[in-house]
Amino acid sequence: MVCNSCIRSVIVQTGQIGIFTPKRVHLRNTQRFLHVGTGLTSKWNCEFPTSLRMMVDSGAAAKQGPAVDVLPQKDDNAGYVSGGWKSEDGKLSCGYSSFRGKRVTMEDFFDIKMSKINGQTVCMFGIFDGHGGSRAAEYLKEHLFENLMKHPQFMTDTKTAISETYQQTDKEFLDSERDTYRDDGSTASTAVLVGSHLYVANVGDSRTIISKAGKAIPLSEDHKPNRSDERERIESAGGVVMWAGTWRVGGVLAMSRAFGNRMLKRFVVAEPEIQDQEICEDLELLVLASDGLWDVVPNEDAVSLAQTEEEPEAAARKLTQTAFTRGSADNITCIVVRFHHKEADEASPQPE
């Protein structure tokens, strides 16, 4: 029996799963939505309001079908949530953990989606760390990957599709907020797996790393205003980088790229830096996290800690808890993806 305050937050589409941070839910039609066979498990702090969303897809890869949606409400009372998932083919599993920490409000969001497009498995993982409010990060959770899958070159030129989708989504967010007095912003660090090819895109100071043959390798570089190339770009555009407790654009923002931030948009762009590589048997782990983790947990520590846990959900929880005990004063959100090369090979049917 599942208690109403511990209901999982799940999106279900034909061939696609999305996992979202918790929100509120109207419970009237909840019970018939729960038994969806996703293989997801979640552990919720019962203080959490939660949300449930079910989407209906026609099954066409290039089309998004009509949605049956329990509209989420903003939730500033988030505490702690974790969960996990494993692919049907056994090639990968993932876990997530998100904690408000010492902050009064929760401005971290995350998204995980799996889909089949033209016969290829597509997996998408994203961390979105808001600043100045939660609206920009929440908008990215709701729209960034949906927009990416609709891009006409997503499967044929994925890097171009990611770059254009990031910047177009930024424009759409700013347009949606044009009549408000808010000036929210957000990072985005995403990993997109298309078949056996991995694309990591980053805007801001969230970060993605991999463990390859036991070695921690960053696949993104934090966008800090004092990075020499970022400082040159900002100053060439007429901006200024100054010290105000830390290096800041215009003395205001402590990162040099972000979604939103309308007042600084001329200097604080949403153009992602993208790295890509083929998946090989040396690739063990993928770790994405907000700076609430990276401020106190070095890359090497993150890999060492994650490797001590067999299940990625347990690894994500350990990383989040470690960051908190080491004194992180920020929201802390983490996704851990484990690649199962040998298990997948053994699960594959052998020719007779």
Q: How far is CA 316 from CA 198, 212, 224, 306, 309, in A?
A: 20, 18, 25, 7, 9
At 314, give phi and psi (nearest 5°). Answer: -65, -35
* pLDDT value for 238: 97
Q: CATH class for domain 4-221+271-347?
A: alpha beta
Q: Give the Cα separation of 283 and 134 in Å (integer).
A: 33
Structure confidence at residue 55 (pLDDT): 26
Q: What are phi and psi of 110, to 5 degrees?
A: -150, 160
pLDDT for 343 equals 55
How confident is the model at residue 346, as a pLDDT? Answer: 52
pLDDT of res. 342? 74
Q: How big is the chain by its Cα radius of gyration, in Å?
A: 20
Cα 90 to Cα 190: distance, rounded to the nearest angstrom: 22
Does the CA dihedral 232-294-41-107 come out positive or negative?
negative
Residue 294 near residue 65 (C-beta atoms within 8 A): no
Picking from 210, 193, 202, the residue whose alpha carbon sits closest to that of residue 115 is: 193
pTM flag (> 0.85) = no
Which residue from 87, 52, 104, 99 is spatially nearest to 73, judged by alpha carbons?
52
CB atoms within 10 A of CB 282: 13
What gap in Å lies between CA 342 and CA 352, rounded to an integer? 20
| Mean pLDDT of successive 10-residue stretches along the chain, which has 352 residues | 38 34 31 28 34 28 30 46 89 95 95 90 96 97 97 96 98 94 95 95 98 95 97 97 96 97 97 95 96 98 97 97 97 97 56 48
What is the number of alpha carbons within 13 Å of residue 226 lying toward its C-beta? 9
Query: How much is the pLDDT for 87?
Result: 86
Tokens of 47: 């203080």
Domain assignments of the chain as residue spans, ordered by start: 4-221+271-347
